[in-house]
Chains A and B, each alone.
Chain A
Amino acid sequence: MTTFTTDLGDTRGVAALKSQAEGLFLRKRLIAFGLPALVLAYLIYVIFAFDVPGLYGRASLEHARTLVADSYSYKTHVTRDARSGDVSVAIEGERKGAYPAGEAPDWVQLGGDASAVTVVDLGRGHQVRFLPDNVTEYDVPGYGTIHVSSSRSGGVVADLPSADVPDWINLSKSRLALKTEAGRLTVTRTKAEVFRYFTGWELFWFTLDSPYHGMGPAMLLRHAMNGEAAAIWHDFWMNPMWHHGEVAWALFETVLMAFLGTFGAALVALPLAFLAARNFTPLMALRFGMRRIFDFVRGVDGLIWTIVLARAFGPGPLTGALAILLTDSGTFGKIFSEALENVDDKQIEGVSSTGAKPLQRYRFGVIPQITPVLLSQILYFLESNTRSATIIGAITGGGIGLLLTQAIITQKDWEEVSYYIVLIVLMVMAMDWLSGWLRRRLIAGDAGGH
């Protein structure tokens, strides 16, 4: 604060003071309105620089819809092959989710052979019938029965209850596709396919080939008690659709990368930090060089280190761990050397007065002083590096990050994507909690962290 010593009797002084105060107010007002205006102007510039108006054209609502629907629901395909007349039922249309031949869920009544009728009950009164000779019928409540026949020569011919085609039916010479609240039907020359949608993640616990599919928890517990626990665990852990075992390994790998990277960096940085601290290294050139090395390692971003190291070590958790180790040694070196410069000399003097050698002076005079700072920084980085390890894994190929990118690239396994996202969030939160707990346990009197 500035103090004014003015003679109040002097009107000129008062006037000057007044104008000064007004000037200050004006400046404050300018800042108060100018700063937000500046930010706003910048954001408007960014909107145009990023072509946000053009985003509407590029964005795909269809993709968004599939993504959302797929992440909480799944569909079961009932398919009839036009040539053989065979009807197959498969969850998500995948081979791993296919019912064995001749078996079907209770809402599908299989006809048995090509001349018999297969009835697919979609619920809410919707029913699809596969009749012989590649004729398909669909009862839509409130609309009527749609009659479709398909053949190689004649294409797809539909007989609709109404004269004009409603907008939920897509009809052409070679294809009929319709979508109702209960499901979807697609008829082409080669096959007729019905989708029925269900909420939830399909076959999350056990796949169809496991004897434990469809059992409730109580039933499973009874089987487990009868000595089948290992078999149950095996079927769950090796689930070919969800790969729980592999996912657990990937999570472990990610945490391992973060752990090795963080603590490795701390081990590398600690001795080097002594070389960069003013009070431990009187030699200025050495100190300066050490600091520039820290700056360089920190400045070459983790991204570049990852790329360089991936070339040498190939994809995997080791590459990720080393990338984290390198980047963080720079950061830790800087933080540690600053902590070392703030060390209280009295303790070191006290220790050296008892005749301690240099190494003992460091061990008993310096280390106890900086341990709390070091530990809290290391643990804080451990948490944030779990996130970095996910990202680095996505780039170099390792851990849960790799699984996530793979699932996203297929553009259809969104239920797996949401599963991985949930797992990643839980993993990071668990590491956050663990690092906070360790901080509180190891550093007495550390109130921070919550």
Chain B
Amino acid sequence: MADISADAARVQDIRTSYAALTRRKRIYGGLLLAIFVALMVSGFRTADMRNAGGFRDGLSHVFDYPAEVLSEAIEKSAALPANLVRFFPSLVETLNIAAASTLLGAAGGLVLSLLATRGMARWPLLIPLFRRLMDILRAIPEIVIALVLIFILGGGPVPAMIAIALHTVGALGKLFSEVNENVSLKPVEGLQSVGANWSQRMILGVIPQVGPNYVSYALLRFEINIRASAILGFVGAGGIGYDLRNAMSWGQGRYDEAAAIFILLFLTIVVVDQISGALRDRLTHGARA
């Protein structure tokens, strides 16, 4: 307990120092806010200056393009079902790219994360090496690897798959190793005491503990990877993004196709988000508690 029988002078002291503290805190907060606002405003003005079209002029034209696409799509609404069917195979390809790269990336991330976690690493001395490797894989945007691979392998889904898988290894590896750090090492020690080797210890001692969390993160990654694979298609890696670019480069007259692709992409993203959200909820909070 504090000494509450302090004399008035000390109370006064405390009061003034408290007031000074509050004032200083307010000044710091205000200063931070002012710096932030200044950064935002000047940043916005710089971006506006270096942009081809200005913000003011552009703002009135934001809805021009969607309106054009929509009006043409409505005009040719009879062709919509046929278009949806026509582009469905590309959508499947985009989904395949995302799914395959998520699976490969999760497998790679799993191994790397186990190798990079203290207490379960196969070679404890190499932990920093594997961590840096994951950092680098995570830092490289997919488009960089995809564009380089398209040059070597030619266009198509494989460069996109490899590019997304490599990024996924880094991203999931980090999340997985965070999960691993909360694992109880007792099963691992128990298995070690009966002579299990490293892979047996990991498969039987660690994976059952972390499985649901892993799957939940992998599902989240799958959602992200669908978007990534659509974007990579746009730079020439196959799938629905590629069709979208073609439909758009034709310009007016093909907007019904662009509209069909927009619809497919939007519906896919929303549906997969909903399903994976529900699944993740079940995995993390338990299905039948």
A and B: bona fide binding partners = yes
A286 sits at the interface (CB 8 A)? no
Q: Which 8 A-B pairs have the closest CB atoms?
A: A314-B52, A316-B51, A314-B53, A318-B51, A313-B58, A428-B139, A311-B65, A58-B154
Number of interface residues of A (CB under 8 A): 64
Q: Which residues of B contact A260 (CB under 8 A)?
A: 40, 43-44, 47
A16 sits at the interface (CB 8 A)? no
Bound CA span A317–B65, Å? 20
Q: Mark B27-52, 1 if CB is under 8 A from A, else 0.
A: 00000000010011001101110111
Smallest CB gap from B150: residue in A: A408
Q: Mark A34-71, 1 if CB is under 8 A from B, else 0.
A: 00000100110010011110010011100110010000
Not counting A43-B100, A256-B43, A432-B135, a sample of 7 additional A-B residue pairs whose C-beta atoms are within 8 angstroms of each other reads A43-B103, A59-B154, A311-B64, A315-B51, A316-B51, A317-B50, A388-B141
Q: Which of chain A's residues 406-445 have a Cβ closer than 8 Å to chain B?
A: 408, 411, 417, 421, 424-425, 428-429, 432
Smallest CB gap from A430: residue in B: B139
Smallest CB gap from A450: residue in B: B178
Q: Which of chain A's residues 64-90 have a Cβ closer than 8 Å to chain B?
A: 64, 67
Partner of A316, one of B47, B135, B148, B227: B47
Q: Check B152–A59 contact: CB distance below 8 A.
A: yes
B144 sits at the interface (CB 8 A)? yes
Q: Mark A373-409, 1 if CB is under 8 A from B, else 0.
A: 0000000000000011011001100100100110010
Bound CA span A395–B51, Å? 14
Q: Check B65–A408 contact: CB distance below 8 A.
A: no
Bound CA span A411–B152, Å? 11
Bound CA span A183–B2, Å? 84
Nearest CB on A from B84, distance (A): 17
Q: Check B43–A390 contact: CB distance below 8 A.
A: no
Bound CA span A42–B98, Å? 13
Q: Which positions in A face B, CB cutoff 8 Å?
A: 39, 42-43, 46, 49-52, 55, 58-60, 63-64, 67, 253, 256-257, 259-260, 263-264, 295, 298-304, 307-309, 311-319, 321, 387-388, 390-391, 394-395, 398, 401, 404-405, 408, 411, 417, 421, 424-425, 428-429, 432, 448, 450
Q: Check A301–B265 contact: CB distance below 8 A.
A: yes
Q: Which of B15-23, B193-201, B228-236 touches A?
A: B228-236
B99 sits at the interface (CB 8 A)? yes
Q: Which residues of A contact B178 (CB under 8 A)?
A: 448, 450
Q: Which of chain B's residues 171-186 have a Cβ closer than 8 Å to chain A?
A: 178
Q: Which residues of B contact A309 (CB under 8 A)?
A: 58, 62
Q: Check B135–A429 contact: CB distance below 8 A.
A: yes
Q: Which residues of A contact B93 (CB under 8 A)?
A: 49
Q: Check A313–B40 contact: CB distance below 8 A.
A: no
Q: Which of chain B's residues 134-182 have a Cβ closer than 8 Å to chain A?
A: 135-136, 138-144, 147-148, 151-154, 156-158, 161, 178
Q: Check A67–B148 contact: CB distance below 8 A.
A: yes
List 10 interface pairs A-B (beta carbons < 8 Å), by A numbering: A43-B104, A50-B156, A60-B153, A263-B36, A303-B231, A316-B47, A404-B143, A408-B147, A425-B139, A450-B178
Q: Which residues of A contact B109 (CB under 8 A)?
A: none
Q: Check A424–B235 contact: CB distance below 8 A.
A: no
Nearest CB on A from B285, distance (A): 14
Smallest CB gap from B89: residue in A: A49
Nearest CB on B from A434, distance (A): 13
Bound CA span A259–B38, Å? 13
Q: Which residues of B contact A302 (CB under 8 A)?
A: 227, 231
Q: Check A300–B103 contact: CB distance below 8 A.
A: no
Nearest CB on B from A360, distance (A): 15
Nearest CB on B from A42, distance (A): 7
Partner of A59, one of B104, B147, B153, B230: B153
Q: Check A313–B269 contact: CB distance below 8 A.
A: no
Q: Check B152–A425 contact: CB distance below 8 A.
A: no
Q: Check B144–A421 contact: CB distance below 8 A.
A: yes
Bound CA span A300–B264, Å? 10
Q: Which residues of B contact A391 (CB under 8 A)?
A: 141-143, 231
Q: Check A264–B40 contact: CB distance below 8 A.
A: yes
Q: Check A318–B161 contact: CB distance below 8 A.
A: no
Nearest CB on B from A426, distance (A): 8
Partner of B53, one of A51, A299, A313, A405: A313
Bound CA span A303–B232, Å? 10
Q: Which residues of A contact B244 (CB under 8 A)?
A: 303, 307
Nearest CB on A from B131, distance (A): 9
Q: Check A55–B51 contact: CB distance below 8 A.
A: no
Q: Check A303–B151 contact: CB distance below 8 A.
A: no
B241 sits at the interface (CB 8 A)? yes
Q: Which residues of A contact B156 (CB under 8 A)?
A: 50-51, 55, 58
Q: Which residues of A contact B61 (CB under 8 A)?
A: 311-312
Nearest CB on B from A231, distance (A): 28
Partner of B62, one of A298, A308, A315, A425: A308
Q: Check B46–A394 contact: CB distance below 8 A.
A: no
Q: Which residues of A contact B136 (CB under 8 A)?
A: 425, 429
Smallest CB gap from B143: residue in A: A391
Q: Which residues of B contact A64 (CB under 8 A)?
A: 152
Nearest CB on A from B204, distance (A): 11
B8 sits at the interface (CB 8 A)? no
Q: Which residues of A contact B273 (CB under 8 A)?
A: 298-299
Bound CA span A401–B241, Å? 18
Q: Which residues of A contact B40 (CB under 8 A)?
A: 260, 263-264
Nearest CB on B from A25, distance (A): 15
Q: Check A300–B65 contact: CB distance below 8 A.
A: no
Nearest CB on A from B94, distance (A): 11
Question: A55-B153, A303-B241, A312-B58 known; A387 and B141 CB under 8 Å?
Answer: yes
